[in-house]
Amino acid sequence: MPEIGEKIRQKREEIGMSRRELSALVDLPEAKIQALEIGKQRVDHASLAIIAKKMDLDANWLLGLTDVMPASGLENECENHFIQIKRHPIEVSAGNGADGDVEADTGTGHYAYNKKWLERRGLKPNSLSVISVRGDSMEPEIYDKDLVLLDHTDTHLKEGPIYVVRYSNDVFVKRIQKLPGDQLQLVSKNTDYLPIVISSPEADGVEIIGRVVSSMHEW
């Protein structure tokens, strides 16, 4: 019989909710949610009560006192408060480049984002996608295997934001710095990586695929 934490994880994943989203929903630290789910920490009575209430779960089912889980209304609540954003099964590189198709209208899988959070930032769901990052060149801002939310409509270059860029048949996640003579360089946060200088962006076919608007680290 699954343990309490495993049941919580199963229900969370069934509705497409990340640990970070569950942490915000139940007002418990994300690290504690992780510890509960993987069995490193026992579920205390207070946490059990708030998780059962907020996720609309039967506490008796979580405790193993009944084998049948009554129908939950959380799926409908999530439909009202969360929007499913497509996740792509590819990785973009924070290091030396990676092949990948990150167009907004393709992808498999989804991640749930709070509607109000998206609205406050003027983000349109149909123009967003979730992709994963490979490599450590953007640490400590973005870590290897982090997920990032990408806005495909924001392709006007500004110094400061992090972009996903296609260059020389590879795809990078980098900051962009403008240089004299219309040159660009792709800049890493990790100082172990030298900037990638692009002497002729137009001739070299540089394409700004979108701006990174948030990142999510999963344990």
Supply the pLDDT for residue 199: 85
pLDDT tens-digit series, residues 136-159 = 899 888 888 888 899 999 988 888
Supply the pLDDT for residue 183: 86
pLDDT tens-digit series, residues 155-178 = 888 888 999 988 887 888 999 998
pLDDT band at 212 (very low <50, low <70, confident <90, very high): very high
| Kind and range of the H or E run holding 90 | strand 82-93
Q: Quick one: what percent of the chain has pLDDT higher than 70?
A: 81
Predicted TM-score (pTM) of this structure: 0.59
* Amino acid identity at 42: R
What ranges do the domains of the chain cover? 4-72, 80-216
Given a cut of 70, whether residue 3 has pLDDT beyond it is yes
Cβ contact 209:142 at 8 Å: no
Q: For the domain 80-216, what is the CATH code?
A: 2.10.109.10
Given a cut of 60, whether residue 194 has pLDDT beyond it is yes
Q: What is the DSSP string of 171-186?
A: EEEEEEEEEGGGEEEE
Q: What is the DSSP string of 4-20?
A: HHHHHHHHHHHTT--HH
Strand-strand pairing, 82-93 and 128-134: parallel
- Name the one residue in this structure whose structure tokens are 């701006």: 211
Supply the pLDDT for residue 13: 82
Q: Please, what CATH class does the domain formed by 4-72 belong to?
A: mainly alpha
Supply the pLDDT for residue 128: 92
pLDDT band at 106 (very low <50, low <70, confident <90, very high): very low
pLDDT tens-digit series, residues 29-70 = 999 999 988 888 888 888 888 888 888 888 877 887 766 555
| Kind and range of the H or E run holding 21 | helix 19-26
Mean pLDDT of 181-188: 88
Give the pair of three-digit tokens for residue 41: 């920490």
Supply the pLDDT for residue 163: 93
For the chain, how many residues are written? 219
Supply the pLDDT for residue 1: 43
Distances in Å between the alpha carbon of 56 and those of 13, 25, 45, 51?
15, 12, 16, 8
111: nearest Cα among 135, 133, 141, 78: 78
Supply the pLDDT for residue 21: 86
Bigger pLDDT: 119 vs 81 = 119
